[in-house]
Structure formats: structure tokens, C-alpha cells
A and B are shown apart, each in its own frame.
Chain A
Amino acid sequence: MTVVDPVTYDVARIREDFPILGRRLAGDLPLVYLDSANTSQKPAQVIEALDEHYRLHNANVARAMHQLGAEASGAFEDARTKVATFIGAPRREEVVFAKNASEALNLVARVLGDAGRVREGADVVITEMEHHSNIVPWQLLTERTGATLRWFGLTDEGRLDLDDLDTLITERTAVVSLAWVSNMLGSVNPLEPVIRRAHEVGALVVVDASQAVPQLPVDVAALGADFVAFTGHKMVGPTGIGVLWGRHDLLAELPPFLGGGEMIETVTMERSTYAPPPARFEAGTPPIAQAVGLGAAVDYLSAIGMENIAAHEREITAYALGRLQEIDGLTIVGPKEAVDRGGAVSFTLDGVHPHDVAQLLDSKGVAVRAGHHCAKPAHQRFGVQSTTRASFYLYTTPEEIDALVDALHHTKQYFGV
């Protein structure tokens, strides 16, 4: 396990790269941004890459025969290569650009159904801790095909309950789709036994890595899943770009998702043939500048080192878990120790609704999320309607956790609890 080395990992230095972190809010309060699981902030390197693309290289990709077209196409495809290297993809053609992780997951669910990989009588297995974007596409697919949706439950600690592994994933199972890191509970799921069991019975495995790729070193080849989805804006990249990684042999045999420009080989009025992956799944003008920005984000994270970022995330999460548990009436929903745990901490505060908590924290400059975090079933499992969530990233400092704790004490006082 890597430990944060203060010489090579200088949070103050990293913070200087993020212009927004120097912002003052109403009342001249400094911004304490603890909502990175929602969206991360962007370093100057990413902002400048977007800016430079639009100022100097803007053109459409893959069809413009002029110099700018060649530059834009080159930059777009370079970004694909960077992402492929960053996640350890064996081939760059395995990286499909989508709008976000939701679209990437919908893409898989849609084409697996269209390909007849999920039919009536089959099971699709998900978990109770999924984000709505990894629940609803599978509900739509099973409703459309007559397949059955099943799911893993959770332990009281907020871990995946794998006791049912062999009875839940069976010969009937066509697809297993699960989060690597929960956006609400923070749990890091043990993917290895799930993938092993799924492959034993011939099922495909989809991993929602939206909260994992930003925080953990990822090697999709070593992971062994069949598809991995994530989004750019949670990993210091721009909004509007997500990634679907898929095994090349699978992508090559699956039908298109959306029809349109760039995804075809040839078109007649009667029928069309389709381009090989990844173009087959990228109809229309893609998010070009966003891909360039994501490439810059990947360069930025790689320069710091994902091992270092993961170690920092563990340390700051451990500190936050400790400090939050000092507060009377505060209950953490999810694992209370920084073991196999990501940097999102959801909690309730007795007598104060999460919206009111978030409002009071905001009045002190502390930005958190309140609500169901697009994980209503997980909230229901723990008997709460909503929670307040603080989430941390490579630029989060212990002083910011202290500011959160102070603001929570103020909140309790304000509401007289």
C-alpha cells in the first residue's frame, strides 16, 4: 500500500493548479469544495487545453480535408490513446467515447438486448447500491426483453453481501452489472469473485467505474471485466464526455447503438453497413474539445500518479471518518473505517434534514451534496430518505475537513439539536 509522501505529494502545490479553489464566496468566505464525487474541479492544464483547442485547432473530425481538420482529428484520436493507456486497455479501439457514464451504460444495455444476448428467461444481476444510471437501463432492458432483474443485497455495514453469489449468478445469468466504488456508501466492491463467478456461468460483466477511475489505479486488462464505464468530469476532465471500454471481440460483434454519421461503412437507401468499433458506437459529431480536455486530465492525473492520488484519498478519508464520528448525533451511512473505501462519506445528523444541513454548510462556504445522490434504493436499504454527502479528491486538505466539522457544529447549534 502506497503511503502519501509529503515530498512528492504536495497538496498546496496541487491546489495552485485549480483556479476555482482560490475563489471567495458570499461573505468573503473561502470555498471549501467537498462535492467531488458529484463533479470534480478542473486544473488550469485542462481548462487551457479546451481553450487552445477552440482558439487554434477547432474543426470537425474524420471528415474535414483541411489542416485544421487533420489537427482536430489527431487531437481527438490522441485523447483516445491517452485514455486507453491510462486504463490499461489492450487496444485503443476498445475506448468508445460517449456523453457520460449514463450513456455508456445505456449503450451496453441497449446493444446487448439488440444482439439477443439478453432474452426472455435470462437474468440480469445488479446490486442494491447502484447509482440510478446502473439500475434504470437494466430495468428498461429486462422490461423490453422479458428477462428478469435480480440484485445483490447489502450488509448492515454497507458492503456488498456476497453470501448469495452462487445462487444469484447462475446459468441463467446473461449480465452482471455493478459499481466498483459506491457513490453513496463509499464502499469499494470486491470485483474479483463476482467476475470469476460470472465468467464461470458464461455471463458478461459490466463495471460502473465512475467513482473508481478518478481515485484508483485502473488496469482493465487485469480486472477481467467485459465492459467498464466512467465519466470525464469526475476525473478533473470536462463535462459532456464519458467512456465505455469494452473487450474488442465483443464490441466487434455487437450492433450499433445510435445511427448517424461516422458510424457507417456505407449507406444505400435500403440498408447500411457499419464501421468497426469504436466508430460504430459514436454516431454524429463527437465531443471533440471534451475529448481533448479529457486527454489533458489523464496527463494531469498520470503526472501526479494514481497510486499517490489513491493514497491521499485513503488518508483524507480516514481523517474525515474519524473527525465526523466525534460529532454527537452524526451517523455515517456506509463503512466507518477507511478500509476498501472511497472518498465519499454520507451521513445523517439527528434532528436536521440533509437539505438544511447542506444549506447551513453552504452559508459557511462548505459545498456538499444533500439528497438521495441518485441512489434511492441504497438509502431505502438503510431506512433513510436522504443523506448529506461530503466527498474528497486529490486537492482536499485536512483543514477543509476541520472546516466541515466546525460548520456541522454550527448547524447543530443553529437548529438547537
Chain B
Amino acid sequence: MDVDALYQEIILDHYKNPHGAGLREPFEAEVHHVNPTCGDEITLRVHLDGETVSDVSYAAQGCSISQASASVLNDLVIGKPVGEAMGLLDDFTTLMQGRGQVEPDEDRLEDGIAFAGVAQFPARIKCALLSWMAFKDATSQALDIEEKTDA
């Protein structure tokens, strides 16, 4: 197996210097997700400002793939409208589940395209998706809270 396809330089850089790590205030929703097969964990907070993802902060324990993925997520979604962030989530999920057949769009996924190689390592796909699934969960909770406050 060509591990270089998995461990792209970009992934190792994000792993060594994760962007936006740490838990911050304010936030509307906080979730804790675990990958039960390997024990990787993430606590992730989402702060929405109206329709915009204002902050995503996190504390994670895990392998290089899961840590780098959280870092890239942070880069990609902060400052974006929720709808667009969810679109990126769909793109990233499609890439991960594409068995290496999906051509990623660099204009949209930026450093996220480095994860294309992960799709060829089925055991590692969950690592790459851990933070994204936590983000999806936290954002939907934050939206529920906003809805209730508005109502």
C-alpha cells in the first residue's frame, strides 16, 4: 500500500500545527463524538452569528488523519453561511466515500483535497469524517436553539 497517498504533506502539516484548536466561547452547541472502533474523540463547539458559522472550536484526541481533518474543517467553514458549510460537508463526505473515484474540486475543498487518498484506506475514512460529523451534529443543534430563541 502506498502510504504516501494517505499521508500527504498537507495532512502532516495540519497534524503538526492544527488550525483553530482549543475550545472557545461563545458557542450555542457543544458535542462530543467518539469513533468506537479506535477510541478517537472530539469535543466540538459551534458558534453561529445569524446564518453564518462564526466559530468552530475543538479539542480532539486522535490520529494524524482525524486531527488534520479537524484543522481543515476549521479553515473551510468559519465565516461561511451555514448552507455553504453544509455543502462543503457533502462534498467532503462524497470524496471520502468515493473509493478513490471522485475528483475533488480544489476551489471548494482547498486543503481538503489532500484527503482524496484516505478514500483508498477504508479503515481510515471514519478518522477523516469524525470532526465533520461532529460539526454537522453541533450545527443542527445550534440551528434548533436559534429557531427556538427567534420563535
Contacts and interface: CB of A to CB of B under 8 A. Distances in A.
A385 B39 contact: yes
B134 to A, nearest CB: 16
Interface stretch (A295-303, A306-314, A316-324, A357-365): A357-365
Interface residues of B, number: 20
A353 B1 contact: no
Contacts of A26: 1
Interface in A4-60: 26-27
Given A353-B64, A376-B39, 11 more contacts: A353-B63, A353-B67, A354-B63, A355-B63, A359-B121, A362-B1, A370-B38, A371-B38, A385-B61, A415-B12, A415-B64
Interface in B1-58: 1-3, 6-7, 12, 37-41
Contact of A353 (B2, B3, B62): B62
A200 interface: no
Interface in A269-284: none
Interface of A: 26-27, 353-356, 359-360, 362-363, 370-372, 376, 379, 385-386, 414-415
Contacts of B1: 26-27, 362-363
Contact of A359 (B6, B12, B39, B67): B6
Contacts, number: 48
Interface of B: 1-3, 6-7, 12, 37-41, 61-65, 67, 121, 124, 127
A385 B67 CA distance: 14
A371 B37 contact: yes
A356 B39 contact: no
Contacts of A370: 38
Nearest to A359: B3
Nearest to A370: B38
Contacts of B37: 371
Contacts of A386: 38-40
Contacts of A385: 39-41, 61-62
A29 B67 CA distance: 30
B63 A363 contact: no
B16 to A, nearest CB: 8
Nearest to B67: A353
Nearest to A357: B63
